[in-house]
Structure 1
């Protein structure tokens, strides 16, 4: 995580204020960081809003989209896709954040990579951070930069908006594998999209839950880590039903940790859950098939 003093407008005085608020909130029975986290997120949003105030902007019922002149001819498409994502994502999580979500559109990969010190996957089409969705211009990756259908199916809006809704709903109370698994699952349900490569087959050696919980972003085979995270969420919903996935989400919202939320909802220990998911995924998840020459 980047230096919080660099991320928050007002620097140290604001951080001190937030720290004091955290001390006061520590008397609340719920996990205190869940109360402090939204304040930090709001401060980040204030800074980014200020930094991007001179960009062009388009407002829709649920989003504010900021962009450069280079993308003026694609913004209507981005806006349409964002609004199309709103209902299925909020319905899937049974939660709708208040206010309008800020989406920033970068004209190229270098600009997105440099944004606020971001050091994520260089090939990503978007990322979520601090209450804001940041995406790569459709012109940088689409075959037809005017195709609404292509952008809605293959673009990052559904995935990143799921991250945002979960973040607001649970006040940051989730693990990395869970938010990535849920974002992929909602994307799969809405668009039918799955990230399947030669490197993320589920029939070989898999990461353990301890590895996924402890160091998700540091695992060497990120394609496999992401694929496993999707399997972990899909198993809950497709084997045990929507009500169980919603129960897990409700527990996270109430401050329960991910492992305990899953154990409570499914009535099994975490180790059994791991074993059952791995066995189920091998027979029920799509596998990579090399195209014929």
Structure 2
């Protein structure tokens, strides 16, 4: 006689619901997709949570950090950084989360790559996907002598948590360039950190907005794509005001395209916005 494990039944039921929702998600127009998107995210989160059910857990007020024995001595640092990010990020977006956020810590690059099906050439300190923040162990990338403050100010927590809250606020209605620009902007505001390397200076040929919108992840110079995204978002906040940036986000929340949300908020057409942020960035983001 086969013994039925109720957790397995629950998981199979969740997967069946997820598949049904995904089918509906790709069949309906963009605006109704926003109503289905939270269900898709919830299903993906349930799947990840089930797949990592054997990992140890460390729980705080707003987070559940899951880890392997290799990160037993770093989990409290990650949890502290997460809690420190919670208030400024949720305040910036005007949105508190009802449920605790799951954070997964992978012990090495191979485990993180395996989770996303990446090649050996790809690497990241952190990734947000499917309602879950997934981090590379701080042991892999922190330098000897680095403190918890170094991790808080240069680590990925503010950036990835911004992605998560922004995703909840907008129900997935955003282009990749804008969420990356917005996450960098909040990181810049909170920690004063800006990713600047020799290959992403803005005094070179820049990508078009169509390239950023349609093919962000496949662009050859990812660092430049990220820097341009930050420049466009900083232009909105620093020239037109932070309230205008929040209005753009509100437009996305209502189901507007990014082009309409920006044009309606700033009172200019999108082509003029594109020209304006480039001109502003050439003067104000020279490094």
TM-score, scaled relative to structure 2: 0.91
1:93 match: 93
Q: Does the alignment pair 1:18 with 2:15?
A: no
- Measured in 1, the distance between the counterparts of 2:18 and 2:186 equals 35
Give how far 1:144 is off: 3.8
Give how far 1:226 is off: 0.5
| Structural RMSD (CA) | 2.2
1:261 match: 261
- Measured in 2, the distance between the counterparts of 1:77 and 1:145 equals 14
Question: Which structure dedicates a bigger proportion of its chain to helix?
Answer: 2
Partner SS state of residue 275, structure 2: helix
* Residues 150 and 286 of structure 1: CA distance in aligned 2, closer, same or farther (over 3 Å): farther
How many residues are treated as equivalent by the alignment? 277
Partner SS state of residue 265, structure 2: helix
Q: Does the alignment pair 1:111 with 2:111?
A: yes
Does the 8 Å CA contact 2:18/2:44 hold for their aligned counterparts? Answer: no
Moved over 2 A (4+): 8-17, 19-23, 116-123
Q: Does the alignment pair 1:271 with 2:271?
A: yes
What is the CA deviation profile of residues 208-228 of structure 1, one whole-angstrom value per residue up to 9, with x for unaligned ones? 111111111111111111100
* Residues 151 and 211 of structure 1: CA distance in aligned 2, closer, same or farther (over 3 Å): same
* Residues 255 and 82 of structure 1: CA distance in aligned 2, closer, same or farther (over 3 Å): same
Give how far 1:15 is off: 4.6
* Residues 67 and 146 of structure 1: CA distance in aligned 2, closer, same or farther (over 3 Å): farther
Partner SS state of residue 162, structure 2: helix
Does the 8 Å CA contact 2:18/2:43 hold for their aligned counterparts? Answer: no
Partner SS state of residue 199, structure 2: coil
